[in-house]
Structures are given as C-alpha cells and as structure tokens.
Amino acid sequence: MSAVLLETHPRLRLNPFAFPSDTTLRFILLFVFVVAADIRRWHGVAVVGFDLGRKLDECLGGTPLVGAALSDLAKMQGCYGLLLPYEMAAIGAGLLLLAAVTGAIYWYYPVWEVRRLRLTPLDPAEAPELFATLEELCNIAGLRRPPEFLWNPVSSGHLALAFGRPRVYRVGFTGALAVLHNESPASFRVVMLHELAHIRNGDVEKAYLALALWWGFLVAAMLPYLVVAASKQMDTADAVVLVVETSIVTGIVLLTRNAVLRARELYADARSLAWGRDEAAFTRVLSGLRPIQGLRRLLSPHPDPARRGRLLEDTDEMFRVGLWDAFGAGAAASLIAITFAFVAGIGFLQARLESAGLLFALVVVPIAIVVPLVAGAASIATWRTTFLALMRGRSSGYVVQTAGSLAAGVVLCGPAFYGAIFLQAAMGGVGRQYVDQIAVAWSSLLMVALGLVALLIVVLAGALILFLKWVEAGATSWLSVAFHTPSPRAPCAIGILISCVLALAWFSVGPVVFGSAWFALHEEGKSSALSAMWYVLLASDIFPLNFIVWVSLIGFWAFPLGAGLWRPRARTHSGWPFLGTAPRTDPSLEPPLRLLRALLIGAAGGLAAGVSLPWLRLPLPLGALHDVGYPETTGAAVLLSMTLTCMVIQGVIAALVVLAIPKLPIPHAMFAAFVAGCILTAGEVLRLPARGALMATILDKVIFGGTLVALAAALATWVLRLPAHALLARLPRKRAITE
C-alpha cells in the first residue's frame, strides 16, 4: 500500500504534529537535568565551603564512609547527621536561587529583546499595507489572539523574532525586512509565517525557558560552585577533576538547550510550509543563511539550512531517532538517577535503622523518577518511527539502534561519574589512602571494569529492545485503526502511559524482586533454578508488588490486542497523517491482529490440558519440595507437580501461537497463555481439596509463573523462526531466477 502511495504522490509529507514534539521532550529532559545538576553543584558548595569532608573523616576516625556503613551504621548516621543541616540548607538555598534567577531572566527576556533590537510598536497608519499583510498572515496561522507587532525601521539586518510571555506574544522585525515586503512579498511571507508558527506551536515559552534555565544554571549553580572551589587550595588532581566534571555537566546542559532550540525551528518550518507552500521563496530565504557543518551542528541553536530545505521534499527526517539524541537522553537520565539516589541516601541517613520501607524507597524511588521519563521519551520516538514505517511501507529499523544508544548512555555515564572520583583519588586527591590499599594491578582492574561495562550495556540493550518491540507492537496495532479516526492522540497517550507503567515495573520493581529473591536464596543456602523461580513468585504476592505484577501482565497483551476490538464508524481516512494535501485514494491499513485465532488456541489448549491434568503431571526432581518450602507430603507433591505442569503447558501454547500467527506474535502468545492459565487454574483447583484456601495461591503461581515460562518460550520460538522465514522468503526468488 505505502509503496504505491509514494509512487502516486511523491511529494506528500507526513504530519509530525500528530505526535508529541521533540521540543517538549527535550525541554522536559533539560529541566530535570538542570535541577539535578544544581543539587550536585550545591552539594559540592557545602562539602567544600563548610569543609564537611574533613569533619566527617575526623568523626569517623579515618574510616571510609562505605566501610563505616558496613561496620557501624549507627556511628556513621550519627556523624553524618551533624553535618546534614549544612548540606540540606545549601541544597535548599541553591534550588531557591536557581528558581529565582531563572524566573527573573525569563520574565525580563521580552524587555531585553525590545531594548536590544530597539523595537517600537508598529503603527497601522504609518504602514497600512504592511499591517494588512500581517493581519492576513495571522488569519492564515489561525491565531485567536494576534501578537503585538514591533519593528525597528532603521535597522539594516534581515531579522524577525517571536518572543513574549503566555498570552502576551510579540513579533519583532527590522526595517530591512519591511522593505522586503515590497521587494519580495513571497520571501516576507515565508519569514513571518515561520515566526507565527512558533506562536501556533506553543514553543515560545519553552524556548525562552530553556534559555533562562541555561543562564540560571550558570549564574545560580556553576558560578557559586567555581568561586567556592577556587577559594580553597587545590592540587593538580583536584583541579583536573574540577575542570573535567564542570565541562561535562555544563556541556550536557548546553547541548540539551541547543537541541530544544533546533527542534522548534524544524517544527516551525513544517507548520509554515503547510500554510503556504511557496517552494521558490522558501529556498530563496534558506539560501541566504550560512551553512552549519561539523561540530557546529551540535553547538548551534539553529539547524543546518540544508536540513531545513529537505522539508520541502518530505518530513520523514522529523520522525527518525537520532543516535546522539538517544545517547544524550540516556546519559542525562543516568546523572539524574545518581543525583536523586544521593538525595534519597540523605533521607536514609536521617531515618531509623529498622526502616525497611525507607530502604525500599532508597532503591526504587530514584529509578522510579527517571525510568518513566526515559520510557516516555523512547515510547514517543517509537510511535513516530512506527508511523513512518507504516506510511512508507517498510519495516522500522530504529528499535535496536535506539535501545543500544540509550543503554550506552545510561551505563557509560555512571562509570564516568564514579570513575572521576576514583581518578581523583588515584592522582593524589581525596580518598587516595583507600586507593593505595588496592592490591590488584591497574591493568587488571581496568580490564575488569571495561568488561563489566560492556556486559551491562549488552544486558540493558537487550531489555530495552524487548521493551521497545512491545511499544512498536502497540503502535502498529493502534495506528492501523487510528488512521480512520480524527486523531491518534488518545491511543498514543494511553500507550505512552502504559509503557511508563510497564517500564517502571520491569526496570525498577523487577530488579528489586529478583534481588530480594537472590538474597533470600543466599540466606537459606539454596541454589536450584526451581527455588530461584519460586522465590520470585513468592515476592510477587506481596502488596504492592502483586498489583504492579497484575497490571503489567494484563497490560502487556491487552493494549496491543485491544485495537482489534475497535471498530471506527467511517472507513475513509481523516487526513491527519498528512501535512497539507491528503491523497484521494484511501491507503487502508488493516490491524495485524488475530485475536480469535489466539483465543481459540489458548482456550482449546487450556481445556485439553485441564481435563488431562491427572495424567500430564510432571515428575518432580529430588528435593523439589524442599526447594520451594513445601512439606514432604503426597498432597504437597501433587500440588507442586500440577502447578509446574500448568506453567509448562502455557509455554507450549505460547510457542504454538508464535508459529501460527506471523505478525505481533509475542502479544498474541501472551494473550493465549493468559487464557490457558485461567482455565488451567480452574482445572487444578477442581482436582484438589480445600479449593477456597488454595485458589489465591494457585492463581498467582500458575498465571505469573506461566507468564515467565510463556515469555521465554515465545521469545525462543520467535528467534528460531526468523532464519526459517528468511530462508523461505528467498526460495521463490531463486526459483524464478532459474526459470
């Protein structure tokens, strides 16, 4: 379908405004990172200014902080508690100062722009034709409240600028641009429509808040930190680490700010081209801009004119994911998580030693803040790339690239942060006495560290690929349906929300569950695979983990497959996928769903296995009852055997569904396994006495345990099926060539 569409309508451009913009995503990331960086800077101010490091070292008697936490936690809390008022006061003052400076700069920016450009209000009586054109352009832009127009009639530069505050927007321009209104009206319209597009897109506030955050960070965070650090005597190691750390943090803020500004320019170009597609005038305006090449593309707040010119052909580039953008998002998220973990650690040091809830919060809360942010950004990017793939008739190849870049940013930024501390100590800075005690050779230590980093990147990238593949499956299902609706925003918003919940469960709560199970196994001296799985299932019964588990379990297959239940009233497209002219033909997209087939396989398999449970029971290995903590009785053996059998049956059913359904096989397989698990639970309960007491226990074990087995079986079958399908796809080609 899509290939034919491109051949028939080669100049059709896709609509980037159907999905949340890059401008918003990058601004949110910039805001959170600046807050985290401000906390770190003012923590440094407190440590250096109040000499907290030396005071803490004296209180602990020279014992390292980590060593004190392991050997005498109460003493460590007492010593650190004496210093916390200074540290918390410094961090609080830093955040208030950041808010005050950023707010003042943002509020003063419109006044400064008026004074910098020497702008005065445009009098309609002084230039009636010019004012009439501006009113016409405001009507084309669909602005409910036209902005105030200001100009500098004696300025010779070609400049136009949209600025202001919410509900008080202004557009300033120079006299040379006003002359252009008479000499080249088409070029004047292109420039002014671009500025009005900034107002229509709602990015004026984001742009000037991004600029205010940048200057606020320099003035309220970086400057005080550098002044305090420079006032103390530093050796070479401290100076090197100070310069490197300051450069990295400041560079991330600057690059993220520039990314916000570049994104808004592209969206303004796309919007203005949709209003008045004068290709010759747009090209003429871009030809007057200076090319931006090399590293200047990262440092410039404006995109390269050649990139902007490609919007005349299509807007496909606005749907693709930049590898450096994904890497930067992962790096910023890693630093944000480290900062919030530090803040949570401060709370832990003030809490009671027996506060298990706070220990849980110390591990989960920092990740829970960052994971939805990254998951939401990655999900929006995946929705856009999936939409592009559907409309252009090709498969999306950005999942693996995005996952790899995100994982590399997250993993590499953490070791870089802690590696700077270690490097400072190794070069003779703070903590050098502890580094000198390391007996391992530096080369061996470096090789182990690099190997661990590589392993973490591979593991995290694999988990992110699975997650983004699920997002892609949901986007494929719902976009195929939403093509016939007025807008895809509702399913997109719901999908992003569910993806954030699932990511929170997989990447935050999941590691805690598996870590707790491993700790319990270590304490009891058990090491079998059955005992490990059983302890994970036991942990999933605890509130609120059980609620998160059930929501994740059902949401995994319910959202992608829910599109099959939606029946739009009209079968003609609404035109939202296209920016400007829509095609006369209807490129109908059918949801790649086979709900009935998956339901029948799951129900039939569950019923057949449920009836045959007395004869299908798996033989238990030696020590199985001891591994799961069951008594050595016949009834316990029957219960465990039936439960394990139900799990294996769900894995078999999931593998069959993957073979039977070619598109979106994993969600279909999980749905069929869930249906079979419910039937098998009922069959197992009917076979055992004390049915009411065992129902809840069996349900959690069979459904959740069967989900783990089914997911492993479905993934293994899907991976094994890929080369077979690739081989079968090539056979007809070879036969045709030989003929």
Q: How far is Cα 438 from Cα 528, in angstroms, rounded to an integer?
A: 34
Percent of the chain residues past pLDDT 70, beyond the cut: 75
Q: What is the CA radius of gyration of the chain?
A: 30
In this predicted structure, the answer to whether residue 417 has a pLDDT above a threshold of 70 is no
What are 534's two structure tokens? 């059983």
Task: Give mean pLDDT, residues 40-67.
Answer: 69
| 647-686 confidence digits (pLDDT tens) | 899 999 999 999 888 888 888 898 999 999 888 888 877 7
What are residue 490's phi and psi, to 5 degrees? Answer: -65, -55
Q: How far is Cα 611 from Cα 687, in angstroms, rounded to an integer?
A: 10
What pLDDT was estimated at residue 91?
86
What pLDDT was estimated at residue 264?
92
Task: Give mean pLDDT, residues 33-48.
Answer: 85
What pLDDT was estimated at residue 199?
93
Lowest mean pLDDT across 69-78, 277-286, 434-443, 637-646: 434-443
Torsion of CA 97, 102, 103, 106, to 10 degrees: 160
At residue 7 the predicted structure's pLDDT band, cuts being 50, 70 and 90, is: very low
What are 721's two structure tokens? 């099926």
At residue 118 the predicted structure's pLDDT band, cuts being 50, 70 and 90, is: very high
Mean pLDDT, all residues of the chain: 78
Lowest mean pLDDT across 9-23, 314-328, 525-539: 525-539
Q: Considering only CA atoms, which of 183, 113, 190 is closest in space to residue 151?
A: 113
Tell me whether strands 120-121 and 168-174 are parallel, antiparallel or unpaired: unpaired
Q: Which of 9-13, 402-406, 508-512 has the highest mean pLDDT?
A: 402-406
Q: How far is Cα 467 from Cα 471, in angstroms, rounded to an integer?
A: 6
In this predicted structure, the answer to whether residue 87 has a pLDDT above a threshold of 90 is no
What are 550's two structure tokens? 């059930």
Strand order in the sheet with 148-152: 120-121, 148-152, 168-174, 160-165
Note the pTM of the prediction, 2 decimals.
Answer: 0.80
Higher pLDDT, 456 or 429: 456
Q: How far is Cα 335 from Cα 453, in angstroms, rounded to an integer?
A: 16
**How many other CB atoms are there within 10 angstroms of residue 60's CB atom?**
18
Tell me whether strands 148-152 and 168-174 are parallel, antiparallel or unpaired: parallel
Q: Considering only CA atoms, which of 399, 396, 554, 587 is closest in space to residue 480?
A: 587
Q: Considering only CA atoms, which of 168, 166, 156 is closest in space to residue 117?
A: 156
Give domain limits for the chain: 18-319, 322-525, 594-738
| 601-633 confidence digits (pLDDT tens) | 999 998 998 888 777 777 877 777 777 777 778
Tell me whether strands 168-174 and 160-165 are parallel, antiparallel or unpaired: antiparallel
In this predicted structure, the answer to whether residue 523 has a pLDDT above a threshold of 90 is no
697 in Cβ contact with 628 (< 8 Å): no
| 156-198 confidence digits (pLDDT tens) | 888 899 999 888 899 999 988 889 888 888 989 999 999 999 9
What are 642's two structure tokens? 């039936």
Type of residue at 622: L
Higher pLDDT, 52 or 326: 326
Cα–Cα distances (Å) from 653 to 302, 372, 430, 599, 677, in that order, read 54, 32, 59, 11, 10
| 287-346 confidence digits (pLDDT tens) | 888 888 877 777 888 888 888 888 888 888 888 877 777 887 888 778 777 777 776 666
Q: Which of 210-219, 289-298, 322-331, 423-432 has the highest mean pLDDT?
A: 210-219
Q: Is 703 exposed, middle or buried (0-12, 13-18, 19+ CB in 10 A)?
A: buried
Only one residue has tokens 């750390």, namely 245
| 237-260 confidence digits (pLDDT tens) | 677 777 877 888 888 899 889 989
At residue 446 the predicted structure's pLDDT band, cuts being 50, 70 and 90, is: low
Q: How far is Cα 609 from Cα 624, in angstroms, rounded to an integer?
A: 23
What pLDDT was estimated at residue 738?
37
